[in-house]
Amino acid sequence: MSNAKENMIAEIINSIRRGEANSLDAYLRTVEHAIELGETQTKFYAHMIQLDGNGGVRLKDFIEFIARHIIEYVIPRNKILEADEKDKKSKMHTHLMRLQSDAAKLFTPLKKTGEGGEMLLFILGEVLLGLPQLFCKMSVKTSGGVHYHGADGVHAGVSQDGKLELYWGESKLHKNYSGALDDCVASISPILKRENDADHEDLLLLANHLNLAEQTYTEAIKNILNKDNSEFNSVTYCGLCLIGFDKDLYAKETSTEAIDEQCKKWKEDIAAKLKDKGLSEFKIHFFCLPFVSVQTFRDEFLRVMGLSDEQVLEVTKKNAADE
């Protein structure tokens, strides 16, 4: 790959980055940040939801913060820019509000939904780490009852030598920590290793739907991701992982030492699991987020998104009829 092409990739990534990392500070407390796990290429991150002045977990505020990113998460960049231009002309915000309404209708009302975690993973990747999302499959859904296989998101980065890095996202929310870890690693492994065409659907969607608003940027990335192009050989597959699980570390009596001990265990478990699955050599950003209750997070996410119990019942009946 030529130096001009490598410089262009860095230019594209820098140009399409969105958000400010410190916007998460009010809602997430950093416990550990970018800690390298021994004998792997993985960086470990641990966060906890912030408390208010009375010691209450700011779960509702945190979820409302997540929900405010719905347009950037779901809607392609060109459509956001078009709506913004129309709103500037009319001096109103009707077009952006329409996009927000359209985006919300694509979320599933299922009680066990993982879409809140997927949306949070987008924020951690795009806003905190500066890895812009290339594509979200939510944007090609036709209704809230549709699900797609493959990664939970695809983000882009640039290596030190100017090569394109593809970050495949996996978010798993489980009541049980070990279940979340096992499920997440099992899901990301075949994608990173390109086993059984695990990346095929996402690459196809990128080829057909990628739109970075700037046509030259869009075509450049599409060209690199064309498997018939030799430039595809320079693309590095990387991982962007989030696991959320029940672990109440929010009580006032919980000591810093107890939290540190949990982080030590998580790091050891993650490193061992990645090595066991042959993922030691892959560059991965791995986030851990304990909740008092994952199900409470899911329920509150549905409420904030305006998804009612009636919609949950309707989708449940439809799924039962389809089986």
Q: DSSP letter string over 18-68?
A: -S-GGGGTTTEEEEEEEEEPTTSSEEEEEEEEPB-TTS-B-HHHHHHHHHT
pLDDT in tens, 95-113: 999 999 999 989 988 888 8
Q: Which residues contact 101 (CB under 8 A, 6 or more apart)?
A: none
Cα distance from N-terminal residue to C-terminal residue, the chain: 50
Q: 57-61, 74-78, 199-203, 312-316: which range is least confident on average?
A: 312-316
Closest CA relative to residue 154, chosen from 110, 116, 189, 201: 201
152 CB-near residues (< 8 Å, 6+ apart) = 114, 118, 121, 169, 170, 171
DSSP letter at 192 equals H
Looking at the predicted structure, is the pLDDT value of residue 143 above 60?
no
Distance in angstroms (rounded) separating the CA atoms of residues 17 and 141: 24
pLDDT of residue 141: 62
Q: Does the structure show a pLDDT above 60 at 321?
A: no
- The residue type found at 36 is E
User: Which of 43-52, 135-144, 149-158 has the least mean pLDDT?
Assistant: 135-144
CA-to-CA distance for 175 and 267, rounded, in angstroms? 19
Note the pTM of the prediction, 2 decimals: 0.92
The pLDDT of residue 2: 56
Please give the average per-residue pLDDT across 307-315, as a whole number. Answer: 54
- Residue 46 above 70 pLDDT? yes
pLDDT one-digit tens code per residue, 266-281 = 999 999 999 999 999 9
pLDDT category of residue 320 using cuts at 50, 70 and 90: very low
Of the two residues 51 and 321, the one the predictor is more confident about is 51
Residue 204: CA count within 13 A, CB half-sphere: 9
Q: Tell the burial category of 293 from Cβ atoms under 10 Å away from its Cβ (0-12, 13-18, 19+).
A: middle
pLDDT in tens, 123-140: 999 999 999 999 888 877
Mean pLDDT of the chain: 91
Indicate the helix (H) or strand (E) that contains 245: strand 236-246
Task: Say if residue 291's pLDDT is above 60.
Answer: yes
